[in-house]
Amino acid sequence: MSEWYYAQGNDKHGPVSSKQLKQLALTGKLLPTDLVWKEGASDWKPASLINGLFPEEKQSPAPALPKTPPIPPAKVAPNAPASANGTEKWYYHPVTIVISLLFCFPVGLILIWTHTNWSTNQKWVWTGGYAAIMIVFLSLGKGQEPAPAPGQLAAPADQQPPVRQPVVQQPPVAQPAQQPTVMQPEAEPVIQVDSKTFIDEGEGNEVAFNTKYQGKLVEITGTIQGVGEGIVGRLYVDLKSGFLPITCYFPNSYSDKLATLSNGKRITIRGRVHSTHIIEDCEF
């Protein structure tokens, strides 16, 4: 296993393993401009030149501009019923068709369905509208009783048809609405562990560690090693755990609470596990 050394300003640190060096880069404690060196190297070099040490930033391609579809030319009906000067013939005018439907039923329908300038949908609209009007007229005619002819007496009262009394329907009785059963969400389990056991499990078997802790909610107890603000403005608390501390990141709303903490104090922090040395979304 390669052992690395790194320099920040005039301070030199190490040795650390390749995994620990990458962890320092992920947590922002090793900058791309810091110098690194390992046994067998000719000289110190910037950390940014080490392949795979810092995550690469992928640039998403710019979205392609949509192509404007060409506007198709307007179609002209080849057999439009027009006169020599290009105007519509008089017997295909809507007013003529309406008059034909009212006073000469078959002629009106023939004019509708031989009109080549109208689409099939338009022809059905005209036909359906005429049918609806005729149904209304017939319904009104049936509802009226014919008046007695002059000199004809009305039927005596005892021969009048019985008057039907309207049936009053009672409104249904509203049943009381049943309250829906509200299912209470199950509380997410919290794993309680101390900082030393947490690190020992992570360095012992990485697969077992990820299965047990990755993305899970934990309450980790340890001794404060440092409190500060990262290079991107994130607030953090470091817990002692061997060579590399466990870094617990807090939201900016915790700035006043973090100001009251001091190194060497025991504390229990709740958060979600991101990796062996990083806890996100922390609180206490």
Q: What is the CATH number of the domain that holds 240?
A: 2.40.50.140
pTM: 0.38
Domain-embedded: residue 158: no
Give the total number of structural domains in the chain: 3
Give domain status of residue 30, yes or no. yes
* Structural domain span for residue 33: 4-49
Same domain, 195 and 257: yes
Max CA pair span of the chain: 134
204 shares a domain with 253: yes
Asked whether 47 and 35 are in contact (CB, 8 A), the reply is yes
Which of the four pLDDT bands, split at 50, 70 and 90, describes residue 83?
A: very low
Q: Residue 62, SS3? A: coil
User: Parallel, antiparallel, or unpaired for β 217-229 and 235-239?
Assistant: antiparallel
36 lies in some domain:
yes
CB 213 within 8 A of CB 192: no
Please count the other Cβ atoms lying within 10 Å of the Cβ belonging to residue 202: 20
Beta strand 278-283 with 235-239 is unpaired
Kindly indicate the confidence band of residue 77, based on its pLDDT and cuts at 50, 70 and 90.
very low
Asked whether residue 55 is domain-assigned, the answer is no
Question: Could you give the CA distance from residue 268 to residue 221 in angstroms, rounded to a whole number?
Answer: 4
Residue 183 pairs in a beta bridge with none
> What are the tens digits of pLDDT across the range 168-218?
777 777 776 777 677 777 788 999 999 999 999 988 898 999 999 999 999
The stretches of the chain forming alpha helices (DSSP H) are: 18-26, 94-103, 105-113, 120-142, 195-204, 206-213, 255-258
Q: Is residue 162 part of a domain?
A: no
pLDDT in tens, 224-234: 999 999 888 89
| Whether residue 37 sits in one domain with residue 96 | no
Average pLDDT, the chain: 80
The total of other beta-carbon atoms located within 10 Å of residue 209's CB is 19
CA–CA dist 8, 31 (Å, integer): 9
pLDDT tens readout for residues 115-165: 878 889 888 888 888 888 888 878 886 656 555 555 555 555 566 666 677
Kindly state whether residue 107 falls inside one of the protein's structural domains.
Answer: yes
Residues 30 and 96 in one domain: no
With H, G, I as helix, E, B as strand and everything else as coil, classify residue 207.
helix
Tell whether 278 and 195 lie within a shared domain. yes
Percent of the chain with pLDDT over 90: 34
